[in-house]
Chain A
Amino acid sequence: MDYLRLASIFCAALAVSFGSIGPALAEGRAVAAAMEAIARQPEAANTISRTLFVGLAMIETTAIYCLVIALLLLFANPLLA
């Protein structure tokens, strides 16, 4: 019982911390590529930044999934109920 509680808190932190590494790297790469594209073709900046925003939100979703899992573990843990 107590171990379960400890483990779920630990795993919530683990999920958020490791789950945000991948999206962070991916968003960095996406923004860098978009910057390069805008520098090369400033007239296409509108389309590029729109696509960039949609893509960033898609990438960010993976981190958000981890956050939702962490919150499930902390606030709505089925094992502790």
Chain B
Amino acid sequence: MNSPLSSVVLFTIGPVPITQAVVTTWAIMAVLILGAALLTRRLDPVPGKRQAVLELIVITIDTQIRETTGVQPAPYRSFIGTLFMFILVANWSSLIPGVEPPTARLETDAALAVLVFLSVIWFGVRATGVRGYLKSFAAPNPVMIPLNMLESITRVFSMFVRLFGNVMSGVFIVGIVASLAGLLVPIPLMALDLLTGLVQAYIFAVLAMVFISATVEEGQPQATDAENAPPSKNKDS
């Protein structure tokens, strides 16, 4: 049985080896981009069925962002929504026979985690400036600076291992059961995988949103003072 930690190299472009997971990622990206472009080509003020479904998705993502962190969803909608949709489609791509979800390999999850790490910096700097972002490391008090710096690395690492472990273990177990017991036996496990894939996509997006909003909130000028924080929050929302 193939090791779940190694990747299958399909071909190389120059010196860069292209693995199976990368090709699947490209396919998912193409499907998502083309689908989004085609579905949103003609938008009416009075939505039809297709547009109503799309609006439902967007409104659901907005509601989740607002309810989990209490911030306005508009600046974060595109990043968090894309993250969620991509991971969801990637996790559920195992439904197509012969396709292995790219999130079951180390490189895709590592790339997603790096993306979250960079986006925390990007949104933090954009909302509060470089000073505000740096100040968010000294959030409760300056003693916590080393711990906060460590945390900013370890929390994305734990997101990476969480997504990888969950999706990979699902794929791995289905593979083992299929090789031991036969054709139709792993179907209940695959159904469980669908639930795991949805929950993991949701958690990845929510955690990214929580990290971003925590950084933005801690970088605000008044946020270090505990008494000033609640009024400023009410003003924003």
Contacts and interface: CB of A to CB of B under 8 A. Distances in A.
A40 B25 CA distance: 45
Task: Point out which of A57, A67, A72, A76 has the most chain B C-beta atoms below 10 A from its C-beta.
Answer: A57
B6 A57 contact: no
B169 A57 contact: no
Contacts of A68: 161, 164-165
A18 interface: no
Contacts of A57: 162, 166, 199-200, 203
A61 to B, nearest CB: 5
B5 interface: yes
Residues of B contacting A: mostly: helix
A67 B167 CA distance: 12
A65 B165 contact: yes
A10 interface: no
Among B162, B164, B172, B199, the most chain A Cβ lie within 10 Å of the Cβ of B162
A54 interface: yes
B161 A61 contact: yes
Contacts of A58: 203
Interface string B1-21: 001111000000000000000
B3 A75 contact: yes
A71 interface: yes
A64 interface: yes
B162 A75 contact: no
Contacts of B206: 54
Q: How large is the interface on A (under 10, 10 to 19, 20 to 34, 35 or more residues)?
A: 10 to 19
A67 B104 CA distance: 14
B5 A75 contact: yes
A67 B5 contact: no
Given A57-B162, A75-B3, 7 more contacts: A53-B202, A54-B206, A54-B207, A57-B200, A61-B165, A75-B4, A76-B6
Nearest to A57: B203
Nearest to B206: A54
> How many B residues are at the interface, by size bracket?
20 to 34
Sorted from nearest, which 7 A-B pairs have the closest CB atoms?
A64-B165, A75-B3, A61-B162, A57-B203, A76-B5, A68-B165, A75-B5
A60 B172 CA distance: 17
Contacts of A50: 67-68
Nearest to A51: B68
A41 interface: no
B158 interface: yes
Contacts of B203: 53-54, 57-58
Contacts of A61: 158, 161-162, 165
B148 to A, nearest CB: 19
A54 B162 CA distance: 12
A64 B5 contact: no
B165 A67 contact: yes
Given A75-B5, A75-B6, A64 B169 contact: yes
